[in-house]
Structure 1
Amino acid sequence: MRRTLDARHDRFPLSKPFRIARGVKTAADVVTVTIGQGSVAGRGEGVPYPRYGETIEAALAEIAAVRPLIEQGATRADIAVAMRAGAARNAVDCALWDLEARLAGASVAVLAGIAPVDALASAITIGIDSPEAMARAARGAANVPLLKIKVDRDAADEQIAAVRAVAPAPRLIVDPNESWRVEDLADRLPMLRAHRVDLLEQPVPAGEDAGLAALAGAIPICADEALHIRADLDRLAGLYSHVNVKLDKTGGLTEALALAAEAKARGFGLMVGCMVCSSLGIAPAMLVAGGAAFVDLDGPLWLAEDRVGGARDDGGILAAPAPGFWGTPACA
Structure 2
Amino acid sequence: MKLNLYPIRLPLRDPFTISRGTITYQDSLVVELKHDGIAGYGEVTANDYYGHTITAMSDALNGLSEEDLAMCFDDSPESNWLHFSKRLGGDMFSLSALDMASHDWHARHSGSTLWHHWGLKWNSDLQSSFTIGIDSIEEMKRKLDADSGWDLYKIKLGTDHDLEIIRQLRQCTTATFRVDANCAWSAQQTIDYSQELQHLGVQFIEQPLPRSADAADKQRVLEESSLPIIADEDCQTEADLETCFELFDGINVKLCKCGGLTPARKMLTEAKRRGKLTMVGCMVESAVGISGAAQLAPLLDFADLDGANLISGSPTDGVKVQCGNLHMPARLGIGAELVSTALPQFLVQ
TM-score (norm 2): 0.86
Aligned pair partner of 2:60 in 54, 59, 62: 62
Note the C-alpha offset of 1:253.
1.0
Partner residue, 1:313: 321
Q: Secondary structure at the match of 2:235?
A: coil
**Residue correspondence of structure 1 range 164-175 to structure 2 within 5 A:** 164-167=170-173, 169-175=174-180
2:119 pairs with 1:113 = yes
Contact 2:253 2:281 in 1 (8 A): yes
**Shift in alpha-carbon separation, 1:190–1:300, aligned structure 2, 3 A:** same
Aligned pair partner of 2:33 in 26, 31, 35: 35
Partner Cα distance (2:315, 2:261) in 1 = 20
2:281 pairs with 1:273 = yes
Contact 2:317 2:336 in 1 (8 A): no
Contact 1:121 1:316 in 2 (8 A): yes
Partner residue, 1:233: 241
Partner residue, 1:157: 163
**Shift in alpha-carbon separation, 1:148–1:227, aligned structure 2, 3 A:** same
Partner Cα distance (2:264, 2:214) in 1 = 23
**Shift in alpha-carbon separation, 1:209–1:281, aligned structure 2, 3 A:** farther
**Residue correspondence of structure 1 range 216-227 to structure 2 within 5 A:** 216-217=222-223, 218=225, 219-227=227-235
Partner residue, 1:291: 299
Contact 1:243 1:269 in 2 (8 A): yes
Partner Cα distance (1:4, 1:200) in 2 = 43
2:132 pairs with 1:126 = yes
Contact 2:111 2:332 in 1 (8 A): no
Partner Cα distance (2:336, 2:308) in 1 = 22
Partner Cα distance (1:91, 1:170) in 2 = 33
Q: Secondary structure at the match of 1:98?
A: helix
Partner Cα distance (1:270, 1:262) in 2 = 10
Note the C-alpha offset of 1:325.
7.0
Partner residue, 1:104: 110
Partner Cα distance (1:266, 1:235) in 2 = 13
Aligned pair partner of 2:311 in 270, 288, 303: 303
**Shift in alpha-carbon separation, 1:329–1:133, aligned structure 2, 3 A:** closer
Contact 2:106 2:333 in 1 (8 A): no
Instruction: Report the residue type matching 1:295 in the other structure.
Output: A
Counting aligned pairs with the same residue, the percent is 32
Partner residue, 1:49: 47
2:200 pairs with 1:192 = no
Is there any run of 5+ residues in structure 2 with no aligned partner, and where?
A: 338-349
Aligned pair partner of 1:80 in 79, 82, 85: 82
2:10 pairs with 1:12 = yes
**Shift in alpha-carbon separation, 1:55–1:64, aligned structure 2, 3 A:** same
Instruction: Report the residue type matching 2:159 in the other structure.
Output: R
Partner Cα distance (2:332, 2:314) in 1 = 12
Q: Secondary structure at the match of 2:31?
A: strand
Contact 1:34 1:42 in 2 (8 A): yes
Q: Secondary structure at the match of 1:129?
A: coil
Contact 2:100 2:260 in 1 (8 A): yes
Q: Secondary structure at the match of 1:318?
A: strand
Instruction: Report the residue type matching 1:178 in the other structure.
Output: C
Contact 2:29 2:54 in 1 (8 A): yes
Contact 1:11 1:29 in 2 (8 A): yes
TM-score (norm 1): 0.91
Note the C-alpha offset of 1:209.
4.8
Contact 1:94 1:253 in 2 (8 A): yes
Partner residue, 2:256: 248
Instruction: Report the residue type matching 1:102 in the other structure.
Output: R
Structure 1 stretch 184-193 or stretch 204-213: which is displaced more? 184-193
Partner Cα distance (2:140, 2:279) in 1 = 23
The CA deviation string for residues 57-95 of structure 1, in whole angstroms up to 9 with x for no partner, is 221122123243432334422243332262211110111
The CA deviation string for residues 127-182 of structure 1, in whole angstroms up to 9 with x for no partner, is 11111221232234554221111112312112111111212x22211011111122
The CA deviation string for residues 5-48 of structure 1, in whole angstroms up to 9 with x for no partner, is 11231111112111111111211211111111132221111123
**Shift in alpha-carbon separation, 1:207–1:266, aligned structure 2, 3 A:** farther
**Shift in alpha-carbon separation, 1:88–1:237, aligned structure 2, 3 A:** same
Partner Cα distance (1:64, 1:209) in 2 = 40
Is there any run of 5+ residues in structure 1 with no aligned partner, and where?
A: none
Contact 2:269 2:299 in 1 (8 A): no
**Shift in alpha-carbon separation, 1:294–1:116, aligned structure 2, 3 A:** closer
Q: Secondary structure at the match of 2:150?
A: coil
Partner Cα distance (2:203, 2:302) in 1 = 10
Contact 2:286 2:307 in 1 (8 A): yes
Instruction: Report the residue type matching 1:147 in the other structure.
Output: Y
Partner Cα distance (2:38, 2:9) in 1 = 25
Partner Cα distance (1:51, 1:209) in 2 = 21
**Shift in alpha-carbon separation, 1:104–1:253, aligned structure 2, 3 A:** same
